Structure formats: structure tokens, C-alpha cells
């Protein structure tokens, strides 16, 4: 038995050794072979000799994830279910209940039911907490319970959920759903078209072209392309979207790697749709990857004015690699560079701080580059807008409030206690905001600043050194000042918090389509884009 097990282990190891001996890793051959042999023997000994029964699959899963956690968060291992989810994300097709779902430890929360799809037709609402799918209790399910909702179109699934303290069960017929890259486009005024591009799947450029052509037929002579909240996707689609506005054979992005075959330049391949139409691109802190390729390239070419807040700063390129038994991994293979030569990666995962966290490139270390017209742009921290809308930038406290789902949960309670019938007249009032502040207070929300944590660490060290009595007065003063700041910080971020609350509440009554309609009349960034587009001399001066 031991000999058979040994042979099963040695054969894969030999295959791996042969693979590495024929690749760019030839120089590290001995070290790689040595480490694989150490791991293989360790894995065998644990599974054969550990005092209790072990699960080899779980052990290996933990080992792989622990190893990859030392790299960057985009280098990931995918099991068979993950591979299918990735295919769905890139292709834009999906079969399930037709809802965006958040997986928590003991429940699935409906974030957004898609209008007129299965979950919506069955009466599910945002905020509903799914506790059981068919006979499976979500809290007892080890893997991502959201996978339980997926299945062949036409099949039935029983969903048990909690809403406002009551438990309900509903049967839902799964159906196919096309996830649109462009969920909305419309005329903002008589001459301005507005296109929302939410993801870069394989339909991104074709849907964007279709939207632009439709808007031009409606009289659009200038455009707003909204990439806010767009996390990216397919690199070739980012090139194709850029190609809509710039001529064929223009450099869009370059990738550079330690492996020569991954060093590539990507040029536009097609005839453009319109190289002259005035264009504003909207970005924010959640615009990443392919969104940054498009906004960065159009900025470098002086083809568009970029408006909003600094983008996320993901300048790393991944490639999927097939593994055995239907599994796969996605590996960071290179960095990408915009036409001016800048890499906009913000976080350094290879030089971490003392707490093991990736460090952020400091502004004083940014390098300057030149656009086509000679404007100065910088690397190191995402795409910096030409015109920044300061209040739209998330602060530490607004991030903390959002991460605790306080905006989402308040919107859920608001929906069941308020009647809203007219989108045009809706307003989140000051009295509503006062109720939100009270809701935060009673929720037990406790926001700890980095300064506060540093002070706590300092006083603990002072106690060890018996210096706490000496600095106690100063420490108490600083602590009181921080508490005062925290109590005033919510009011200090009132504008942004009201915007976040308004967006979430509108979706409860009018879905995402209603929110986009509301944006065209009320959103600050869109208004700023309109101001620029409707002032041709200002538009031209920014790009000069």
C-alpha cells in the first residue's frame, strides 16, 4: 500500500519536474525540485501518520490558498465551480434565480433582484435573507451557498428566507439571464448621450457601439461614458472600447513581464465609430483594470476629459492556466502600461509593511509622463481625473459605514416604512439623515481610525515601560479629540452619505434602471461632465 501511494506521488512530481525543466524557470530548477519534494513528503507523512483522520482535499486547499496569499490577491486557484462562475462572468450568460446575492456566514442576502426575472417575479426583495435552499441549510453549507441557487433553466428551487422578522418559503423557476455590459443608455439633454458600461465581458464593445449609434440617431453630438464601479474584465475588450473613439493602429496598452512571450503591445484593430465627438469619461475608486486601460489610454491620447475621483489602481494582468481535474488558476503574469508609459498599479504586494499589508505608492514617489499634447500625467496610484469631484471620493468613515452594510440595511428598513411613487420628486431629507445617524448609533458601529489604533499601541508600550502616568494627560486629550472628530465625522461626510443612501433607496423602488434615470437629472459627476461638454472652449483647454 505504501509503495503504491509512493508511486502515485512520485509520478506527478516527475511530471512537474519535467515541466519546469523545459520552461523559463530553468535557472531555478534545483530549488523548485527541492521544495516540491519537501512538500510531497510532508503531505504524505501528515495524511498517513497524523493522530486523527485528515481530509487531503481540505489540507491541500488550505496549503494552496496560504501560498498564494503571499503574492497578490488576483493570483487565485479555481475549483470546478469557480471555473464555471468565471466563464459566466466573462461570457455574460447566467442561469439561476436572477438576483445579485451576497454570501455571508450563515445566510445569503439578496442585494438586488433583477427586474422582471425569476426572483423579482417570485416577490423576493433586496434585504431578504435566504436561510435555506431546497433542503440545505445555508449556515451548514461549507462552500459558497450562492452556487445552490444556480441550475438548469426551467428547474425549480425552493427558497426559505427571512424578511422583517418573518420567515417565508417560495418556489422559483430558474431561468437564463443575459448579464448586460451596457445596462443603460439615454439622452441626458437634446445633444448629450449617456452610456453606462458596467463590465468588460465579451459583449462590452459591441453593446457600447450599439448604444452610441442609437444615441447618435437620437441627435447626440457629445457623449458621457460612465465607467464608475466597473471592476474591469477582458483586456481585448478594453482595447476594442478604446478603438470606438480612436483610429486603427493606435497603441492602447503594453504588458511587460519577466517572461518574454508575455511582453505584448496592443493596438486598435478596427475602424473607429467617431474620432471627433466630444467625450467625457467618468471614473471612481471602484473603476479598475480594463476601466483604467480605457480611461488611461483616452487620457494619454487627449481624446477624452476624465472626470470623477482617482481610480482603483490595478495595473496587474492575469492569465488563466488550466490545471488537472477541471481546476484552473489565474496567475498575475505582467503589468500593463498606458500609451504614455505609466503603470498605474497602486499597491505594492511584494514590499509589505510590518503588519503584512501591501504598501501604497506615495504621491511624492509618482513619476510624471506626457500625454499626446504634452499634458503631465502620473503613475503609481490609479488614473487621476482631469477634473476631480472631491466630495465623491470615499473617506475612511464612509468606507467603514458601507462595509458594515449600514447604508444597505437602513435602506431595507426605509423601504418597508415609506411609500415612494414618484422618482422625480424623491428626496432623502435632512430629517431622514438624522434618523440614519441615530440608526448608526444604536447599531453599535465603532469606527477605529489608524491614529486611534496607533495611540492604543503607544499607551500599551508606555505601560510596559511604566511611562503611562507621565503621558496620561496628553493621551487623554488626544483620545478626547479623536472622539470629538468621530462624532462630527458623519456630519462632515453628510453629502456623500446622503448620496449613497439615495442611490440604495431608489434601487429598492425603481431598480437599477430607475437609478440611472435619476442620475441623468441629479448626479453631480454627470452635471460636471455636462458643464464641460457644453463649454467647448473649456473642454478644449483641458485637453491642451
Q: Which domains does the chain have, with CATH numbers?
A: 93-178 (2.30.42.10), 184-319+331-388 (3.90.226.10), 396-526 (no CATH)
3-state secondary structure 303-345: CCEEEECCCCCCCEEEEEEECCCCCEEEEEEEEEECCCCCCCC
Q: Which helix (H) or strand (E) holds 3?
A: helix 2-21
Nearest to 428, CA basis, from 414, 440, 438 = 414
Residue 363, C-alpha cell as written in the block? 504621491
Helices in 22-75 by DSSP H: which ranges?
29-49, 56-68
Distance CA 459, CA 471 (A): 8
Nearest to 528, CA basis, from 432, 423, 391, 435 = 391
Which residue, chain included where needed, has cell 494552496?
A: 64
**pLDDT number for residue 354:** 76
Nearest to 245, CA basis, from 271, 266, 220, 221 = 271
Distance CA 97, CA 111 (A): 13
Distance CA 479, CA 467 (A): 17
Question: Are 274 and 217 in contact, with CB atoms under 8 Å apart?
Answer: no
| Residue 530 CB neighbours (<10 A) | 19
Query: What single-letter DSSP state applies at residue 448?
Result: P
**pLDDT number for residue 15:** 46
**Among all residues, which ones are annotated catalytic?**
289, 300, 314
**pLDDT number for residue 362:** 77
**pLDDT number for residue 469:** 79
b/e map 5-40, b = 16+ CB within 10 Å = eeeeeeeeeeeeeeebeeeeeeeeeeebbeeeeeeb
SS3 (DSSP) at 476: helix
Residue 392, C-alpha cell as written in the block? 465623491
Burial class (CB in 10 A: 0-12, 13-18, 19+), 387: middle
| Residue 188 CB neighbours (<10 A) | 22
Distance CA 472, CA 481 (A): 14
Burial class (CB in 10 A: 0-12, 13-18, 19+), 420: middle
Answer positive or negative: Cα dihedral of 318, 320, 321, 326: positive
pLDDT tens by residue, the chain, 544 residues: 444 444 444 444 444 444 544 445 556 788 889 999 999 999 999 999 999 999 998 888 889 988 998 899 999 888 776 776 666 555 545 578 999 999 988 999 999 999 999 999 999 999 999 999 999 999 999 878 888 898 888 999 999 999 999 999 999 999 988 889 999 999 999 999 999 999 999 999 999 999 999 999 999 999 999 999 999 999 999 999 999 999 999 999 999 998 999 999 999 999 999 999 999 999 999 999 999 999 999 999 999 999 999 999 999 988 889 988 888 888 999 999 999 999 989 988 888 877 778 888 777 788 999 999 999 999 888 999 999 998 788 888 899 899 999 999 999 999 999 999 999 889 999 999 999 999 998 998 877 777 777 788 777 887 888 777 778 888 787 888 877 777 688 888 999 999 999 999 999 999 999 999 999 999 999 999 999 999 999 999 999 8
Strands 305-308 and 387-388: parallel
- pTM for the complete prediction? 0.84
Distance CA 296, CA 304 (A): 10
Nearest to 319, CA basis, from 252, 202, 234, 200 = 234
Amino acid at each position: 500500500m505504501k509503495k503504491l501511494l509512493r508511486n502515485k506521488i512520485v509520478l506527478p512530481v516527475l511530471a512537474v519536474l519535467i515541466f519546469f525543466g523545459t520552461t523559463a524557470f530553468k535557472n531555478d530548477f534545483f530549488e523548485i525540485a527541492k521544495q516540491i519534494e519537501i512538500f510531497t513528503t510532508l503531505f504524505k507523512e501528515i495524511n498517513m501518520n497524523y493522530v486523527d483522520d485528515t481530509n487531503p482535499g481540505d489540507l491541500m486547499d488550505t496549503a494552496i490558498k496560504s501560498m498564494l496569499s503571499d503574492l497578490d490577491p488576483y493570483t487565485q486557484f479555481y475549483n470546478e465551480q469557480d471555473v464555471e462562475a468565471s466563464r459566466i462572468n466573462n461570457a455574460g450568460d447566467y442561469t439561476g434565480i436572477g438576483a445579485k446575492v451576497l454570501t455571508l456566514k450563515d445566510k445569503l442576502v439578496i442585494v438586488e433582484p433583477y427586474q422582471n426575472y425569476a426572483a423579482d417575479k417570485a416577490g423576493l426583495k433586496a434585504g431578504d435573507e435566504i436561510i435555506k435552499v431546497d433542503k440545505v441549510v445555508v449556515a451548514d453549507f461549507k462552500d459558497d451557498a450562492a452556487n445552490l441557487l444556480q441550475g438548469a433553466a426551467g428547474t425549480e428551487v425552493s427558497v426559505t428566507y427571512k424578511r422583517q422578522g418573518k420567515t417565508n418559503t417560495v418556489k422559483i423557476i430558474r431561468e437564463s439571464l443575459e448579464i448586460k455590459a451596457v445596462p443603460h443608455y439615454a439622452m441626458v439633454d437634446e445633444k448629450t448621450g449617456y452610456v453606462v458600461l458596467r463590465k468588460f465581458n465579451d459583449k462590452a464593445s459591441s453593446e457600447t457601439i450599439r448604444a452610441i449609434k442609437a444615441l447618435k440617431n437620437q441627435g447626440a453630438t457629445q457623449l458621457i461614458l460612465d465607467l464608475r464601479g466597473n471592476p474591469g474584465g477582458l483586456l481585448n475588450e478594453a482595447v476594442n472600447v478604446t478603438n470606438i473613439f480612436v483610429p486603427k493602429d493606435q497603441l492602447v496598452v503594453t504588458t511587460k513581464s519577466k517572461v518574454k512571450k508575455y511582453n505584448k503591445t496592443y493596438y486598435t484593430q478596427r475602424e473607429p465609430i467617431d474620432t471627433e465627438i466630444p467625450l467625457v469619461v467618468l471614473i471612481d475608486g471602484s473603476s479598475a483594470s480594463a476601466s483604467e486601460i480605457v480611461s488611461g489610454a483616452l487620457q494619454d491620447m487627449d481624446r477624452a476629459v476624465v472626470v470623477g475621483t482617482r481610480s482603483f489602481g490595478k495595473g496587474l494582468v492575469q492569465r488563466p492556466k488550466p490545471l488537472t481535474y477541471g481546476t484552473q488558476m489565474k496567475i498575475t503574469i505582467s503589468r500593463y502600461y498606458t500609451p504614455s508609459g505609466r503603470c498605474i498599479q497602486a499597491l505594492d504586494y511584494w514590499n509589505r509593511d510590518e503588519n503584512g499589508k501591501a504598501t501604497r505608492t506615495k504621491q511624492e514617489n509618482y513619476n510624471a509622463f506626457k500625454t499626446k499634447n504634452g499634458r503631465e500625467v502620473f503613475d503609481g496610484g490609479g488614473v487621476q481625473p482631469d477634473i476631480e469631484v472631491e466630495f465623491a471620493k470615499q473617506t475612511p468613515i464612509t468606507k467603514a459605514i458601507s462595509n458594515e452594510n449600514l447604508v444597505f440595511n437602513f435602506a431595507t428598513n426605509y423601504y418597508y416604512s415609506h411609500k415612494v411613487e414618484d422618482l422625480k420628486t424623491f428626496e432623502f431629507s435632512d430629517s431622514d439623515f438624522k434618523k440614519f445617524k441615530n440608526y448608526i448609533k444604536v447599531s453599535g458601529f465603532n469606527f477605529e481610525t489608524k491614529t486611534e489604533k496607533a495611540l492604543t499601541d503607544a499607551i500599551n508600550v508606555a505601560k510596559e515601560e511604566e511611562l503611562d502616568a507621565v503621558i496620561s494627560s496628553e493621551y487623554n486629550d488626544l483620545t478626547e479629540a479623536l472622539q470629538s472628530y468621530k462624532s462630527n465625522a458623519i456630519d462632515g461626510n453628510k453629502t456623500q452619505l446622503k448620496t449613497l443612501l439615495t442611490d440604495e433607496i431608489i434601487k429598492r423602488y425603481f431598480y437599477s434602471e430607475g437609478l440611472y434615470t435619476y442620475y441623468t437629472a441629479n448626479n453631480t459627476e454627470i452635471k460636471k461632465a455636462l458643464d464641460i461638454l457644453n463649454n467647448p472652449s473649456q473642454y478644449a483647454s483641458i485637453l491642451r
